[in-house]
Amino acid sequence: MTKGTTSFGKRHNKTHTICRRCGSSSYHLQKSKCSQCGYPSPKTRSFNWSKKAKGRRAQGTGRMRHLKTLQRRFRNGLREGGRQMKKSK
């Protein structure tokens, strides 16, 4: 038997499927555990020895619907509604 091309043709069973928590194709069907996020464990899987992997899930990687406008609003004193303040010359 060869260990290359002919062996790869026999692979038609899925070990991993899509995880319902993280959405990646890392949920092991027999182990019933996700290799990326650790589902069904209540805590998300992360390690300090991999800063790159932590950064992929960290704050600032998504839409940041609230935080992206917060810095601009903070510079203006977090004011809401009302009229604009007059600029003194």
Structure confidence by residue, pLDDT tens digits, 41-67: 999 999 999 999 999 999 999 999 999
Mean pLDDT of 6-35: 96
Residue 63, classed as helix, strand or coil, is coil
Average pLDDT over every residue of 24-31: 97
Q: How far is CA 33 from CA 12, 53, 62, 65, 79, in A?
A: 21, 18, 25, 31, 47
Both structure tokens of 49: 């020895």
pLDDT tops 90 at residue 1 = no
Which residue type occupies 30?
Q
**First and final C-alpha spacing in the chain:** 86
Task: Please check the confidence at residue 82 and state whether its pLDDT lies above 90.
Answer: no
